[in-house]
């Protein structure tokens, strides 16, 4: 049963007076449960208990933390239909998406459990002493990774499970030995509470310390209170550039600055060579229509920008892409605010000089359903107008028609940092693909060849991050087991007696 309360170290409490409800975007009406925003005191209590738990949790064996993560996965699955139904009520997303995202969440938890079951992930190094070395002796030095401390995790709007309460940030932080305080996304407060209850049960069953996990409700102020607390040592965020940058600035201005690992905006450029258009324009148009509209375009890897060197087949391709895109049934967006933002940003882009709307879903739509849009602009106009470089979060994509390969390279070099870049090409292509890749890799975190950017595989080789503003630190990934590296730091032990070393550094 949903209580609407905050989960503070395993107890559900609500001392505040500010209330809110989630919204069913398909019915365009509020859901019945009243949620209570966390007070500053409740936020402080959650972090204080997380700090106390950290003293114990950081010393627990990897095997025990693995048991905890696997138990969380088991308890999430045990929620069964209750979780799926709540997910659908608060997101407007279909059952298949709910089940799939639940499966991904469980897989992430089990992947991190497998990772930390042994201590290999710490990348320990051992340099033996050389007391007889001349001219100076060498001490025994050993290096390992240790957890940072309590981590604040912000739930994402577009992934109520996989990037939220028990998502990748939480799973990786717990795996590292860091207690977590989640600021649940207000759009998915019910889904978050159910998952929080699963984590609480798992913590009790596996003997975790009180305070290892908390989840608070609220908006901007709750987030500010959380990041400002001196015992919070790192932040994980998935969302808008404005939100991520605000948290980054706040964390940087603290008396003790802390890292913010934020995955933010991206338009994910796709380069299509003229040769590829000649050989398979229809196939590309159909494939990309599906990618543009997948999940109503509400993915951080949505292909919002297609770059083409203008040729004889360019206009036909653009018209076919528009036709295929608007032929797909409009879908519901996550929330009225997201729909409003999509409309506003889309209108701002399409009203710019030189921009032509080639295709847009027409007619009256149900509330919160999005009209897909395909627009086009010349490379010259795109270069001259930074407003065209901004993300439109939803089923929107712009085709930029470059006059030559030099202008194409200039556009790529001038883009902000991106999560992904895609190259659609042929083996016998006339374009210098090596140069294209060289330029592209400086602007993105992941390069796709002859595929689509949507669909982020959870595996060790996945890089989900990129140069700013795709993320605040391009050296790290938010997906895959290497995400654990965000929540640890290296420490060297020099000339230490065996009995004082951590267990994984002995021997």
Which CATH number characterizes residue 440's domain? 3.40.309.10
Is 402 known to be catalytic? no
**Orientation of helix 433-441 relative to helix 405-414, angle to 10°:** 10
Angle at CA of residue 397, ends 186 and 293, nearest 5°: 60
Residue 72, domain member (yes or no) = yes
Question: Is 418 inside any structural domain?
Answer: yes
For range 226-236, the mean pLDDT: 98
> Do residues 430 and 311 share a domain?
yes
More confident residue, 507 or 300: 300
Q: What average pLDDT score do residues 154-161 get? A: 97
Residue 128 DSSP SS3: coil
pTM over 0.95: yes
Range of the domain at 410: 269-449
Residues 289 and 231 in one domain: no
Instruction: Examine the domain organization and report whether 186 and 279 are in the same domain.
Output: no
Residue 1: band (very low, low, confident or very high) from pLDDT cuts 50, 70, 90: confident
Same domain, yes or no, for 97 and 154? yes
Which residue in the list 300, 324, 402, 416 is annotated as catalytic?
A: 300
Mean pLDDT value of segment 460-464: 97
CATH number reported for the structural domain that contains residue 68 in this entry = 3.40.605.10
pLDDT recorded at residue 212: 98
Q: Which of 263, 391, 407, 416 is catalytic?
A: 263
User: pLDDT class for 100, splitting at 50, 70, 90?
Assistant: very high
Tell me, yes or no, if 300 is annotated catalytic: yes
Nearest Cα to Cα of residue 314 among 354, 273, 261: 273
Average pLDDT of 11-15? Answer: 97
Residue 142 lies in a domain: no
Q: What is the pLDDT of residues 324-336, one digit of tens each?
A: 999 999 999 999 9
Residue 85: which residues within 8 A CB-CB, separation 6 or more? none
Is 224 found in the same domain as 299? no
- Helix, strand or coil for residue 416? coil
Rounded CA-CA distance 391/264 in Å is: 10
Q: Based on the fold, state whether residues 256 and 160 are members of the same structural domain.
A: yes
460 within a domain of the structure (yes/no): no
Both 336 and 423 in a single domain? yes
Say yes or no: 185 and 312 in one domain: no
Residues 294 and 218 in one domain: no
- Whether 117 maps to a domain, the answer reads yes
Q: Say whether both 305 and 359 belong to one domain.
A: yes
Say if 136 falls within a structural domain.
no
397-424, pLDDT tens digit by residue?
Answer: 999 999 999 999 999 999 999 999 999 9
pLDDT band (50, 70, 90) for residue 265: confident
Domain count, the chain: 2
Query: Are both 26 and 75 inside the same structural domain?
Result: yes
Residues found in the chain: 507
Domain assignment of residue 502, yes or no: no
> What are the tens digits of pLDDT across the range 114-143?
999 999 999 999 999 999 999 999 999 999
Which percentage of the chain shows pLDDT scores above 90?
99
Whether residue 346 is contained in a domain is answered as yes
Let me know whether 55 and 124 are in one domain.
yes
What pLDDT, on a 0 to 100 scale, did the predictor assign at position 81?
A: 98
Beta bridge partners of 423: 271, 449
């Amino acid at each position: 049963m949903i209580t609407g309360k905050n989960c503070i170290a395993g107890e559900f409490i609500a001392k505040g007076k500010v209330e809110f409800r989630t919204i069913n975007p398909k019915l365009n009406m509020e859901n019945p449960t009243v949620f209570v925003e966390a007070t500053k005191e409740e936020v402080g209590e959650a972090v204080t208990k997380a700090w106390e738990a950290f003293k114990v949790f950081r010393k627990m064996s990897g095997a025990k933390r693995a048991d905890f993560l696997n138990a969380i996965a088991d308890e999430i699955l045990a929620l069964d239909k209750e979780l799926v139904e709540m997910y659908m009520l608060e997101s407007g997303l279909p059952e298949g998406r709910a089940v799939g995202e639940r499966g991904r969440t469980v897989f992430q938890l089990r992947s991190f459990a497998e990772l930390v079951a042994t201590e290999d992930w710490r990348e320990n190094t051992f340099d033996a002493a050389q007391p007889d070395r001349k001219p100076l002796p060498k001490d025994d030095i050993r290096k390992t990774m240790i957890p940072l401390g309590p981590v604040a995790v912000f739930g994402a709007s577009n992934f109520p499970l996989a990037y939220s309460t028990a998502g990748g940030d939480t799973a990786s932080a717990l795996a590292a030995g860091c207690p977590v305080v989640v600021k649940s996304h207000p759009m998915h407060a019910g889904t978050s509470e159910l998952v929080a209850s699963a984590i609480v049960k798992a913590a009790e069953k596996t003997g975790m310390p009180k305070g290892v996990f908390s989840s608070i409700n609220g908006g901007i102020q709750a987030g500010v209170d959380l990041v400002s607390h001196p015992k919070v040592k790192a932040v994980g965020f998935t969302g808008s550039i404005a939100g991520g940058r605000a948290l980054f600035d706040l964390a940087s201005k603290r008396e003790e600055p802390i890292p913010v690992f934020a995955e933010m905006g991206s338009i994910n450029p796709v380069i299509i060579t003229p040769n590829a258009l000649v050989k398979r324009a229809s196939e590309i148009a159909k494939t990309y229509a599906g990618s543009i509209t997948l999940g109503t375009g509400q993915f951080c890897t949505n292909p919002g920008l297609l770059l083409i060197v203008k040729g004889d087949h360019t206009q036909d391709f653009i018209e076919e892409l528009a036709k295929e895109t608007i032929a797909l049934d409009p879908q519901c967006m996550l929330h009225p605010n997201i729909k409003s933002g999509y409309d506003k940003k889309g209108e701002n882009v399409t009203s710019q000089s030189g921009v032509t709307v080639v295709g847009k879903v027409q007619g009256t739509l149900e509330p919160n359903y999005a009209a897909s849009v395909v627009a086009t602009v010349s490379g010259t106009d795109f270069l001259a107008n930074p407003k065209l470089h901004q993300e439109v979060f939803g089923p929107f994509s712009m085709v930029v028609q470059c006059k030559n390969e030099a202008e194409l390279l200039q556009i790529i070099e001038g883009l902000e940092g991106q999560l992904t870049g895609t190259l659609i090409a042929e083996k016998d292509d006339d374009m210098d693909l090596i140069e294209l890749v060289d330029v592209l890799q400086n602007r993105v975190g992941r390069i796709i060849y002859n595929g689509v950017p949507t669909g982020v595989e959870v595996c060790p080789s996945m890089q989900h991050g990129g140069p700013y503003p795709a993320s605040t630190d391009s050296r790290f990934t938010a997906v895959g087991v290497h995400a654990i590296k965000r929540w640890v730091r290296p420490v060297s032990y020099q000339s230490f007696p065996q009995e004082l070393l951590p267990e994984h550094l002995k021997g």
